[in-house]
Structure 1
Amino acid sequence: MSVLPVSEPSPFSVGSLYLIAFAQARAPHIGIILPTSLSSGILFHIRIDRNASPNWTYQTRLQNIVQDMFVTSLLRIRDVNIGGITLEQLTSVAKSVAIPENDEFGECFPWVLKVVEMIHTNGYLTVSSLSGLHDEFRAFANGNRAYARRDKFPNVAISTFCM
C-alpha cells in the first residue's frame, strides 16, 4: 500500500474538507468528504439507488479513503488548521441543498458545487470562484484514473480557489 511521505508536508489532514472523486465509466462521481481518520471519513453526496427510487437521493456514510479502488482524487477546500467545519454544520448545509428530481447522469457535481456555495454563504469557507473551482477539480479528477487502485492513496491537491 502506498502511503503519504512522512518527511514532506501533506495536503491531506484529518478534519480538513475535501472534494472527492470516484472512478466511473463516463466521468468521476463527486462528493464532499470530511476525514475523521487517516483512512476514512464522512461522505456527503447524492446517488441513484434504482431499488429505492429512480431519482437522486441524498446520502451520508462512512467512506474508506485508503484501499478503496474507486477513490481517485481529494481536493482540499478547507484546511482544518485555519478552522474546520463540524460534522453538524456540514450536515445541516448539505441537507439544505435541493436534490435534483431526475435521474440524469452528471447531477452530482452541480449539487456538490451548490453545497460548497452554501458552505461559503454560511461563512464556513471562502470561495473566490465557483466556476474556477469547477474547472480546477474537473481537470484534476479527470487526470487521476491511475489512482483507482487499492494499493494507492488517492491523488491529493489543494484548491487555489478555496480557503
Structure 2
Amino acid sequence: MALAPSSFTPGSLYIAGFTQARAPHVALLISQDARSGDLVHIRIDRTVSPTWQYQHRRQKITGDMFLSSLLKIHDVSAGEITVQQLQDAAGAVPVPDNDHFGECGPWVFKVVEELSNKGLVTLSNAAALQEEFNALAQGSRAFARRDKFPNVAVSQYCI
C-alpha cells in the first residue's frame, strides 16, 4: 500500500475527486488520518430520491479505488476547521433540485465560497481554484487504484 505524500496533512480540508466514467465526482473532505476522514457531498440515490441529496459520511482514504485526487484548500496548521463548521457551511448552500449530471462540482465550489465568507478558508480566486482542481482531477486517473494513495496537491488559490 502506498504511503501518504508529505503534502498530505491529517486534519486539513481537501477538495476530493473521485474518478468516474464521465467526469470526476467532487466532494469536500476533512482527513482524520491517512486512512479516513469526514466527507460532505451531494449525490443522487434513485432508491431514495430522483434528485440530488446532501450527505455526510465517513470516507476511506487509503485503499479507496475511486478516490483519486485531493486538493488541499486549508492546512490544519492555520487553524482547525471542524466537521460541524464544514457541515454548517454545506448546509447553507442549497442542493440542486434536479437530476442533471455534474452538479456536485458547482455545489462544492459554492460551499468553498461559503467557507471563505465565514473566514474559515482564504479564497483568492474562485474561478482559478475550479480550473486548478479540474486539472488535478483529470490528471489523477492513474491514482484510482487500491494500492495507490490519492494524488495530493496544495492549492495556490485557497489556503
Normalising by the residue count of structure 1, what TM-score does the alignment of the two structures yield?
0.96
Q: Which ranges of structure 2 fall in alignment gaps of 5 or more residues? A: none
For 1:151, which of 118, 128, 147 is the aligned residue? 147
Aligned: 1:96 with 2:92: yes
1:119-162 CA-partner distances (Å, limit 9, x unpaired): 00000010000000000000110010000000000000000001
| SS of 1:72 mapped into structure 2 | strand
Alignment of 1:48-67 (within 5 A): 48-67=44-63
The percent of aligned pairs where both chains have the same amino acid is 53
For 2:123, which of 119, 122, 127 is the aligned residue? 127
| SS of 2:95 mapped into structure 1 | coil
1:75-105 CA-partner distances (Å, limit 9, x unpaired): 0000000112111111111111100000000
Count matched residues: 159
Corresponding position of 2:3: 3
User: C-alpha separation between the residues in 2 aligned to 1:145 and 1:139?
Assistant: 11
| SS of 1:140 mapped into structure 2 | helix
User: C-alpha separation between the residues in 2 aligned to 1:128 and 1:4?
Assistant: 27
Q: What RMSD, in angstroms, separates the aligned Cα atoms of the two structures?
A: 0.7
For 2:112, which of 116, 119, 127 is the aligned residue? 116
Normalising by the residue count of structure 2, what TM-score does the alignment of the two structures yield?
0.98
Stretches of 4+ moved more than 4 A in 1?
none
